[in-house]
Chain A
Amino acid sequence: MRNIWRALGSRGYLLSPWPWRAVAYLASGAVCGAVVLVVIVSGVVVGAALSVVVVGLPLLLLTALAGIPVAGVERWRLRIAGQQVAAGQHRVPAVPGLRAWLSTRLKEAATWRELAYAVLFGLVLWPLDALAVVLLAGVPLSMACAPLVVAVDGEAKVVKLWTVDSWPGAFGVAVLGLVLLAPGAYALGCAAGARAELARALLTTKAEDSERVTELVRSRVRLVDAFEAERRRIERDLHDGAQQRLVALTLTLGLARLDAPPGPLADQLAKAHADADGALAELRELIHGIHPKVLADYGLEAALTDAADRSPVPVDLDLDLPGRLPRPVETAAYFVAREALANVAKHSGAQTAGIHGRYDGGRLVLRIEDDGCGGADMSQGTGLTGLADRVSVLDGRLTLSSPPGGPTLLRMEIPCRPSRPAREPSA
């Protein structure tokens, strides 16, 4: 993006639109700033006076929010000076409605910083803008116009200081004015550039960035939560719907087989029965993959034992966990282990695998290793990449060491606190 500083450095500056843009930026700043001053001062004065009869309080509140439109206009004006600023860094309220919007805005640091900028703008900046325009553009131009003024009025006051009434004097002043226009234009460019930098620095700061990052992290956590909730919903729908109906169907088929006389009909029934059983078994595995109930009911240790039981490659399980961990941590750890075991079975050619889990120093550390051929790459498997994202949402880390020839070691680490004691069997 070409901005005013680059333009100042280039040769054709005086003939480019940039001196005019500098004037436009500063002049519009002077006008806007004056308006801001009037609005804020009248808002505060009238609001304070009427606050005795309560009516003034909303007015004061509105005045406090005045920084928001001012900042909006200022960001737009920055474009005149060739500065690009990310617009609108305010949060979107969680729920619609004026109340939520107000409380969101009043809690944001950005709102108050913008108000501070508006006050600074109204009290200090706009007179400076005006001064720069008058001194650097107005004075040389008025001097250049001296002969015209003399022709009309008979005399001209140059800069209100000395009077010129002769033609040679008038033309001399005009020439001087035209000569002064060039350095004036450069000085205007510098003034506009500096003014724009100041506005940009005040309207976008690091603090706003970190606020944005915090909000991003929050929204990522919300997304993962929503994803988990959706998994549970699908699991429950399948369980309460399709699975129950299939069981009822096998029951009906089983009873029908009792009644059917031996023959083709009985054979067909037997086949239908076997098919329904197969469908049930597949559905059961599917549901288990979506959301294992044992994880929710008994926790990570039981769920990992179950995952180890199901692994085609023998798994050495060695866990030392303190009761239950927060649900998102358990879920992430479980799916990491399961994905790792699936990879071991599919790609590694390993004879044995091991899952080692420890809770130590406020963090859950899970290591899944195998004695296979190695060469696994986190960037290739979408499964592990997605899991690494989920672990990182919880401030955890997933690292993979898999040199060619093996062994492969996947290590997961998540900071957490035990949430409740494990349920004792036969409580």
Chain B
Amino acid sequence: MPSEPPRTRTLRIVLAEDSVLLREGLTGLLTRFGHEVVAAVGDADALRAAVAEHEPDVVVTDVRMPPGFQDEGLHAAVQLREERPGLPVLVLSQYVQRAYAAELLDSGDGSGVGYLLKDRVGQVEEFVDALAEVASGGTVVDPEVVRQLLRRRRDPLARLTPREREVLALIAEGRSNGAIAKALVVSEAAVGKHIGSILTKLDLPPADDVHRRVLAVLAFLRS
């Protein structure tokens, strides 16, 4: 995946992951890419405390955490975003769940949020790019979520052409117009046209905000 967002910026990260093995692995990975893990914790309460203490640039958290091993991590993330509007949060999930993604993207205005399958950390460069995208206010939704949405046929997606669906999937992955154009081997102008058409079909009136792209993804999540 081409690295559109600036990778040079050093991010101060709070990491929450209950598996020690993964916590160490992720810390090593992020450090290697020049970021600073200011705190690596193992449960939701420690996550809240660490965020309060360190005021990080971005939070990376697992969904399932002690003590209940349910979705404490996700809830901590949503709560943190309510207390600190605009705090970028990247949530890692063992498997994709539309309900989780919707809950997360509904917090704040849906910007500065990422929801990725945990497996994606193995694609280290893409993962670090996604993290940078989230930290700079972008929205990243796992392709698997988008694929699930595209599989449904009774929702507004039915009105999109196959090419428009492809474009939407790439938007959800957090790519810029330039990156999408490169991936689909078309001109950037063509991508712009597709996006305009998608937004029209989804009843998202024109506005100058890039967050309409987020809204497009959200529209599906809520459908």
- Which residues on A are within 8 Å of B, measured CB to CB? 236, 239-240, 243-245, 247-248, 250-255, 257-258, 273, 276-277, 280-281, 284, 287-288, 293-294, 296-298, 302, 305-306, 308-310, 314, 316, 425-427
Contact = CB atoms under 8 A, between A and B. Distances in A.
B119 A293 contact: no
Nearest to B222: A425
A293 B72 CA distance: 13
Contacts of A245: 21
Contacts of A314: 152-154
Given A244-B21, A296-B70, A251 B26 contact: yes
Interface in B6-23: 19, 21-22
A284 B98 contact: no
Contacts of A244: 19, 21-22
B199 interface: no
B102 A280 contact: no
Given A239-B64, A309-B98, 7 more contacts: A248-B25, A251-B26, A258-B124, A273-B122, A280-B122, A302-B97, A302-B98
Contact of A255 (B70, B124, B148): B124
B32 A255 contact: yes
Task: Identify the 4 closest CB pairs spanning chains A and B, nearest first.
Answer: A250-B122, A254-B124, A244-B19, A302-B99
Nearest to A301: B99
B166 interface: no
A146 B221 CA distance: 106
A236 B148 contact: no
A302 B99 CA distance: 7
B187 interface: no
B48 interface: no
B22 A248 contact: yes
A271 to B, nearest CB: 14
Interface residues of B, number: 37
Interface of B: 19, 21-22, 25-26, 28-29, 32, 64, 69-71, 75, 78, 94-95, 97-100, 102-103, 106-107, 118-119, 121-125, 148-149, 151-154
Contact of B95 (A236, A276, A288, A296): A288
A283 to B, nearest CB: 10
B148 A309 contact: yes
B107 A306 contact: no
A236 B98 CA distance: 21
B29 A255 contact: yes
Contacts of B149: 309
16 contacts: A239-B94, A247-B119, A248-B21, A251-B122, A254-B29, A254-B124, A257-B124, A258-B125, A276-B122, A277-B122, A284-B119, A293-B64, A302-B99, A309-B151, A309-B152, A310-B151
A384 B28 CA distance: 49
Given A244-B21, A247-B118, A277-B122, A284 B95 contact: yes
A251 B124 contact: yes
Main secondary structure of the interface of A (DSSP, over half): helix
A306 B93 CA distance: 15
Nearest to B108: A426
A251 to B, nearest CB: 5
Contacts of A255: 28-29, 32, 124
A281 B119 contact: yes
Contacts of A251: 22, 25-26, 29, 121-122, 124
A243 B94 contact: yes
A309 B154 CA distance: 11
Contacts of A236: 69
B77 to A, nearest CB: 11
A284 B94 contact: yes
A276 to B, nearest CB: 7
Contacts of A276: 122
Contacts of A287: 94-95
A244 B21 CA distance: 8
Contacts of A247: 22, 118-119, 121-122
Q: Which of B26, B124, B151 has the most CB of A within 10 A?
A: B124
Nearest to B19: A244
Nearest to B125: A258
B154 to A, nearest CB: 6
A293 B106 CA distance: 20
B99 A425 contact: yes
B80 to A, nearest CB: 12
A93 B86 CA distance: 60
